[in-house]
Structure 1
Amino acid sequence: MGKILVEGVGEVQEYVDICDYAVGLSRIVGGPILPSERPGHALIEQWNPVGLVGIITAFNFPVAVYGWNNALALVCGDVCLWKGAPTTSLTSVAVTKIIAQVLEDNKLPGAICSLTCGGADIGNAIAKDERVGLVSFTGSTNVGKQVALKVQERFGRKLLELGGNNAIIVFEDADLNLVTPSVLFAAVGTAGQRCTTARRLFLHESIHDDIVQKLSKAYEQVRIGDPWESDTLCGPLHTKQAVEMFLSAIEQAKCEGGTVVCGGKVIDRPGNFVEPTIMTGLAHDSPIVHKETFAPILYILKFKTEEEAFAWNNEVKQGLSSSIFTKDLGRIFRWLGPKGSDCGIVNVNIPTSGAEIGGAFGGEKHTGGGRESGSDSWKHYMRRSTW
């Protein structure tokens, strides 16, 4: 899909890690024994498999996202039917062949983890089929909404991992040496094609100009090119349509008062290469700032107060990941509390991108409300009976 080699290796490692996690989890899945109000009785919570899990994944993580679902589904006693992205079907085939070989080596049918390739018609069939106990969908909010309605229509179970419009907030007391590399990694990594990509950067007015200058210099040094080369930091966008969306977003931002600080152009070479872009001058509630564009465009805004910055973070429809940079302990706990970030992933002094498998991954509002990977995410893949 175009990501640089080190990210591709990291994604495969994530699948390995979630398998380790799931093996440990398989020995501790259980429900509590509760006190019964009736003498001589026991009250027990039992968790059973949902049966068949339909897993629909996106192009940007063609290995790891399936791995999160697949490893947990298997230890919960489920079987899997995977529909990977049509544009990364060879990756889906390769992964499925590896899994099938492992299953068959252990005298189990390879079809426990089956694969189907295709487009929206296949996804539609999975969403509508009553035999599918859980539909796990990763993709855009627009398509996720359609999937959710079709699954709900048959009273099925759904797990949605949808869009993000993630903000990093930098306060005047932040360790500024952390800020530039963190923002660069979060905004430019995977060429801006992560659901956890930093798309909005809020800078306190006292440090705004300094950070913009430092970031601009860092952006100029980003090596863009062949993702197989070890010194490449930013590969291509996935499709020509993505390049068109990149250009369209920049034009819309200019119309809404934005200024290109650096980048903003398509690179004249074979492939879908674009320049990572910084824009300033936009209002926090500009329509383009509230829109998730799957490309390396960062909108930088200036704020005065903590209340203002927290409100701007929360005012978009998506609620996936969020970050602040500060040394103020009181502010950190306000950020983590009920009046702070409304996102599913709330970071302090680290960027928006990345996740740890031990914690539940997912977000609120138009991000879908689903949770994958760690914590008690396994409950999605099972049904509860109270005995």
Structure 2
Amino acid sequence: MDKRFLKQLGLRKHNAGTMTGLESTNSSKYIKSFSPVDGELIGSVSKTTREEYDAVIAAAQEAFKTWRLLPAPKRGEIIRQYGEELRRMKDPLGRLVSYEMGKSLQEGWGEVQEMIDICDFAVGLSRQLYGLSMHSERPGHRMYEQWHPLGIVGVISAFNFPVAVWSWNAMIALVCGDVVVWKPSEKAPMCGVACQQLFQKVLQENEVPEGVCSLINGDYKVGEFLTKDERVALVSATGSIRMGKIVAATVGARLGKTLLELGGNNAIIVTPNADLDIVLTGALFGAVGTAGQRCTSTRRLIVHESIYDEVKQKLAKAYPQLRIGDPLDENNHVGPLIDTQAVDQYLSAIEAVEREGGNFLVEGGRLEGDAYSSGCYVKPCIAEVEHDFEIVHHETFAPILYLIKYSDLSEALAYNNEVPQGLSSAIMTNNLREAELFLSAAGSDCGIANVNIGTSGAEIGGAFGGEKETGGGRESGSDAWKAYMRRQTNTINYSETLPLAQGIKFDL
């Protein structure tokens, strides 16, 4: 395989794991990154020690004093320059994402494009950090609210979007005046190093203080440095529900702030009024895109009984046409799972379906042979199940699609909402009443509810996140920026007296 993209990104056999501002350190203890594509060693990243971490935080605290006072549009200009750097390096960075994580090359490039898009959004936002003006009940007074940066924002990201989710948080937080410390997934550390090195180039050119944006590397223990540290005002964590509950409890115990993006168990409801060509496209990509390792992947397809057999036949015909293999080959649709542990979880889910009495419309299993030598490739599969199977209520990060039959829309909505996760959802229908019911307070209980598009993916302009065990956090667009700032209410008395609120008087 041609790996010139590693050299283009300045990656070496051994890479520093701690980068604060313009300097980096090396602990001589390494995380090795093996590609799920071919099982080969990509490189290694040094683990961040406690001493190095404390140095990072000290530098961040000092940098915040300067960065918060830089006018927001000037902070936005620096983010704009990073967006330009990403445009220049989109091809090699997208290839690294594909090779280290295993998603298709188109998706790798697409993830870098999301980074570019959030940079553009953040540039515009830098001139729109609006407060409100309110009428005071006291004469000669003006009352308003404004927003100030929090301080240090810790970002813990997951392997499935190794660069985009960090940028959703970091670009917005930085424009808001915060400083950022990032711990990427130990399953995709090289992507973190590449992004940080590209950003440091921009920061250095702008003579930005050391510590504005830093990188630390390691396992969950390094993540605990952030969650337990009272100096870190906000921890934004993306990952499993189990991880999120630990983060929430730890940060909450010190009354810190969290922004959680956790599991999804996303469903598409298909009504008799649906365009089945759209259904097939939305369900297929939603279920097998990124090999089912998106938090927005389609897990459940809830189909009306009158069209159930037709939908089933179309899916059964489409799945054998999927090409599985090296994701850097643009002819392939599906790449590998992240590692063999993920394969084991996929196989365990298949066994659970069989134990509960499910039937496989399209069989799954691990793929063998020279083309799949890493041991991380599996077959996307479809299982006919009942809505209340225990396994159906759990998120399996793999390309398993559960096919469920329903008889009326109220039943379908109940099925959609009965799982503990609440991230993304969709309805396929050309009936306005069905669509509006799905979007109403009596409809989907998810943070994302779509009509005639699938569950997978999100646009930068909208706030991304979900309810229930998905964690309640919101990232990216809309007013998600408010999570990275603190609100302050201000009252100014420009009169010559001091009238008190609620008519209170003192005789002095």
The TM tier, using the shorter chain, reads over 0.9
> Aligned to 1:167, what secondary structure does the other structure show?
strand
- For residue 261 of structure 2, what is the aligned residue in structure 1? 161
Among 335, 340, 356, the residue aligned to 1:235 = 335
Question: Given the superposition, is the C-alpha separation of residues 226 and 110 from structure 1 closer, same or farther in structure 2, using an over 3 Å criterion?
Answer: farther
How far residue 109 of structure 1 moved from its aligned partner, in angstroms, is: 3.0
Return the alpha-carbon distance in structure 1 between the equivalents of residues 159 and 346 of structure 2. 17
- Match in the other structure for 2:297: 197
Does 2:398 align with 1:298? no
2:441 corresponds in structure 1 to 338
**Which position in structure 1 is the counterpart of 2:415?**
312
User: Which of these residues, 42, 52, 57, is aligned with residue 157 of structure 2?
Assistant: 57
Which contiguous aligned blocks of 4+ residues in structure 1 show a shift greater than 6 angstroms? Answer: none
Whole-Å separation in 1 of the counterparts to 2:208 and 2:190: 24
Corresponding residue of 2:315: 215
CA distance in structure 2 between the partners assigned to 1:87 and 1:349 by the alignment: 34
Matched residue, 1:372: 475
Higher mean C-alpha deviation, range 118-127 or range 363-372: 118-127
Contact 1:101 1:110 in 2 (8 A): no
Q: Read off the aligned partner of 2:388 and give its amino acid letter.
A: D
Task: Choose 218-227 or 104-113, whichever is displaced more.
Answer: 104-113
Q: Which residue number in structure 1 is paired with residue 457 of structure 2?
A: 354
Q: Does 1:85 align with 2:185?
A: yes
Is 1:115 matched up with 2:219?
Answer: no
TM-score (ref. length: structure 1): 0.99
Q: Does 1:285 align with 2:385?
A: no
Distance 1:341 1:381 in 2: 28
- Match of residue 128 from structure 1: 228
What is residue 257 of structure 1 aligned with on the other side? 357
Specify the structure having the higher radius of gyration (Cα).
Answer: 2
Question: For residue 295 of structure 1, what is the amino acid of its counterpart?
Answer: A
- Equivalent position of 1:144 in the other structure: 244
Task: Quote how far apart the aligned CAs of 1:263 are.
Answer: 2.9
In 2: Cα distance, 1:218 partner to 1:255 partner: 27
Query: 1:110: Cα distance to partner?
Result: 5.0
Pair 1:11 & 2:111 matched: yes
Residue of structure 2 equivalent to 1:68: 168
Aligned 8 A contact 1:162 1:195 in 2:
yes
Counterpart residue number, 1:274: 378
- C-alpha distance in 2 between matches for 1:71 and 1:209: 47
Distance in 2 between the 1:125 and 1:96 partners? Answer: 20
SS for the counterpart of 1:117 is coil
SS of the aligned residue for 1:81 comes to strand
Residue identity in the other structure for 1:279 = A
Provide the rounded CA distance (Å) in 1 between the counterparts of 2:243 and 2:187: 16
Q: Does 1:174 align with 2:274?
A: yes
Deviations 1:211-261 (A, max 9, x none): 111111111000000011011100000010100001100001011011111
CA contact (8 A) 1:100 1:110 kept: no
Match of 1:224 in 2: 324
**Could you tell me which residue of structure 2 aligns to residue 183 of structure 1?**
283
Provide the secondary structure at the position in 1 that maps to 2:433: helix
Q: Percent identity?
A: 57
Deviation, structure 1 residue 360: 0.2
Tell me, in whole angstroms, the C-alpha distance in 2 between the residues paired with 1:259 and 1:285: 15
* Structure-2 separation of matches of 1:109 and 1:103: 8
Once the two structures are TM-superposed, the CA of residue 104 in structure 1 deviates from its matched residue by 0.8
CA distance in 2, matches of 1:41, 1:187: 57
Q: Does the Cα contact within 8 Å between 1:80 and 1:113 map onto a contact in 2?
A: yes
Match of 2:195 among 90, 95, 104: 95
What SS is found at the alignment partner of 1:87? coil
Once the two structures are TM-superposed, the CA of residue 288 in structure 1 deviates from its matched residue by: 0.4
* CA–CA distance in structure 2, aligned partners of residues 163 and 265 of structure 1: 24
Q: Hey, what's the Cα distance between the residues in 2 that align with 1:208 and 1:38?
A: 65
The 2-side partners of 1:290 and 1:32 are apart by 43
Which runs of 5 or more structure 2 residues have no equivalent in the other structure? 1-100, 491-508
Structure 2 CA distance for aligned equivalents of residues 110 and 193 of structure 1: 35
Aligned partners of 2:159, 2:290: CA distance in 1, in Å?
11
- Equivalent residue for 1:247, pick from 341, 344, 347: 347
2:57 alignment partner in structure 1? none
AA paired with 1:152? Answer: G
Query: Structure 1 CA distance, aligned partners of 2:431 and 2:281?
Result: 21
Aligned mates of 1:122, 1:31 — CA distance in 2: 36
Question: Secondary structure at the residue paired with 1:136?
Answer: strand
- The superposition leaves residues 122-164 of structure 1 with CA deviations (integer Å, 9 ceiling, x where unpaired) of 1111001011011000000001000000000000000000000
Deviation for aligned residue 1:283: 1.5
Moved more, 49-58 or 104-113: 104-113
CA distance in 2, matches of 1:162, 1:52: 22
Output the amino acid matched with 2:152.
Answer: L
